[in-house]
Amino acid sequence: MGLNPQLKLLVELQQMDSQIIERAYLVKQIPFKIESAMSPLKQAKAAVEEKKRAYEAAVKRKRELDAELEDMGQKITKLKAQTSGVKTNKEYHALLKEIETAEAARFAHEDSILSAMEQIESSEKEIKTEEKKVKEEDARVEAFRQDLEKQKEAASLELKELKVKRAAFASKIAQDVYELYMSLLKDLGGVAVAEAKGEVCGGCHMNIMPQLYVHIKQNSEIHQCPQCRRILFYKEEPVEEPAK
């Protein structure tokens, strides 16, 4: 038995609206997809900034150490100058001990400067590594963005064409039937028409009373699911030809 003309129109309109909803959702989601794809890029940029801060801290520390080393050198020079004016052997040995301690401190300070220089060199290499990652991620995001923009353009064009087609198609449906359909479409997440199969509603997956299911299978009138209120239709299974 063929579908009731109005029911047939509703089934086709639902298929059309499902396509419209799908493409509209795709277009709407593209900015979020791009934002999500940028997460690794943001992380790579943050890593570069972190390495730069470490580099700047090492440079600053070396500058401070250099200044302190210069002060140490001046102190040792002054101590050595004092040796010529020492009058007692005890004072002389005490001064030599102070010079020895100062020079040992200077040697240790020079090791700290070497460590700072190594940190600077290491930071420079790390910055270059992270900047390479940024460049790679930037290229990946740009390629991904361009691909999504192409998808958006295609989906937007299809959406425009579908809406024009839908407007002409919807005019064929009786006003009261169309208003019911639109109300259900809005209330039920974009699915106002569902297939009934095996005494089950394809929309809410709840059981349908056998007597109602018999009427639905006739496709002669518009029937709604008692649970979710969706308009139901029955799709006849194709008849298999007997094997020859």
pLDDT at 68: 92
What are the sequence ranges of the domains in the chain?
33-168, 174-238
Residue with tokens 């520390």: 61
pLDDT at 156: 92
What is the distance between the alpha carbons of residues 225 and 191, in angstroms, rounded to a whole number? 13
What is the distance between the alpha carbons of residues 84 and 68, in angstroms, rounded to a whole number? 26
- Give the burial class of 205: count Cβ atoms within 10 A of its Cβ; 0-12 exposed, 13-18 middle, 19 or more buried: exposed
**DSSP three-state, residue 194:** strand
**DSSP three-state, residue 196:** strand
What is the distance between the alpha carbons of residues 76 and 106, in angstroms, rounded to a whole number? 9
pLDDT at 75: 92
pLDDT at 95: 87
* Residues 2-24 pLDDT 10s: 679 999 999 999 999 999 999 99
Q: Which residues contact 156 (CB under 8 A, 6 or more apart)?
A: 23, 27
pLDDT at 1: 52
With both helix axes pointing from N to C terminus, report the angle between 39-82 and 89-170 in degrees, rounded to the nearest 10. Answer: 170
* Residues 158-207 pLDDT 10s: 999 999 999 999 999 999 999 999 999 999 999 999 999 999 999 999 99
Fold of 33-168: Helix Hairpins (1.10.287)
**DSSP three-state, residue 28:** helix
The amino acid occupying position 200 is V
pLDDT at 86: 82
Per-residue pLDDT of the chain (244 residues; tens, 9 = 90+): 567 999 999 999 999 999 999 999 999 999 999 999 999 999 999 999 999 999 999 999 999 999 999 999 999 999 888 888 888 889 889 989 999 999 999 999 999 999 999 999 999 999 999 999 999 999 999 999 999 999 999 999 999 999 999 999 999 999 999 999 999 999 999 999 999 999 999 999 999 999 999 999 999 999 999 999 999 999 987 655 555 5
In the chain, the largest separation of any two C-alpha atoms, in whole Å, equals 131
